[in-house]
Amino acid sequence: MPRHFVVPLPGDRRLQLGARTLVMGIINVTPDSFSDGGDLLDPARAIEAGVRLAAEGADLLDIGGESTRPGALPLSVAEELRRVLPVVEGIASRVSIPLSIDTYKAAVADAALARGAAIVNDISGLRYDPALADVVARRGAALILMHTRGRSRDMYEQATYHDVVDEVLDELRQSIAFAQTAGVNTNALLVDPGFGFAKQAQHSYDLLARLDELSGLGRPLLVGPSRKGFLTRPLSGEVSTTARDWATAAAVTAAVLGGAHIVRVHAVGELLPVVRVADEIRKYHRAPTG
């Protein structure tokens, strides 16, 4: 079983991790995300989607306004705020589960936290906008530090590793240390290995197979394999993003058995039974002897 953690959230709330794997639902308020870009660009539709995912059993919701798919162009702060703030406010008024704002920009995080978000999900591990750490510390929010290298336009140019697990561990340690120096509560930090970000398919599979090694960071682990391109590597022919949910189920199962505390997925209702069965299997795991 994974280690148990209590992650503090604003408003004297707590996120209990370890007893079961939590499911984070994805709300992409974008016209160009790789999986569902454009589907939820209208705030009303995005809010209804969040309410639906919560009803399906999501434990958390992650709301993002900028696509970070490979090759995506950066979004202005003003446009990102225009997209996400109505959605954060609308969902926060209708559901009780914690909301995460998927951004690397300090200004966006600050505004979203003021309107009901409790977690910041930073794909850059504090490498794009270091001021984000100050916002998180001041707001008393939780912070997810994801591993990546470079920007969306050039991340694959930096996907060169001698040992991907060791290097991801080292670079996440650097992000943790930066957050701590900025005054972020260590108990409020989570980590994400960043499947598909500055990683070729073989790197993501190596990380997934050795996920338990990331427990050495001493922080809760979030895993986001949902519909990612690396899942199509063993498959023949073209596989649409929505048709990748079966492959996602396999990756989610491996993640749970590898010690993930949270899995981030698009199809909450479909994948929730997968997570629960994987949790049940994990209860019976015994470490090898001899």
Q: What residues are labeled active site?
A: 228, 264
Please enumerate in sequence order all residues whose Cβ is within 8 A of that of 180, keeping only pairs 6 or more positions apart, or say none: 186, 189
Cβ distance 56 to 268 under 8 Å? yes
Q: Cα(245)–Cα(247) distance, rounded to whole angstroms?
A: 5
Q: Cα(124)–Cα(146) distance, rounded to whole angstroms?
A: 6
260 CA to centre of own chain: 11
Cβ distance 274 to 18 under 8 Å? no
76 CA to centre of own chain: 22
Question: Do the strands 5-9 and 13-17 form a parallel or antiparallel pair, or are they unpaired?
Answer: antiparallel
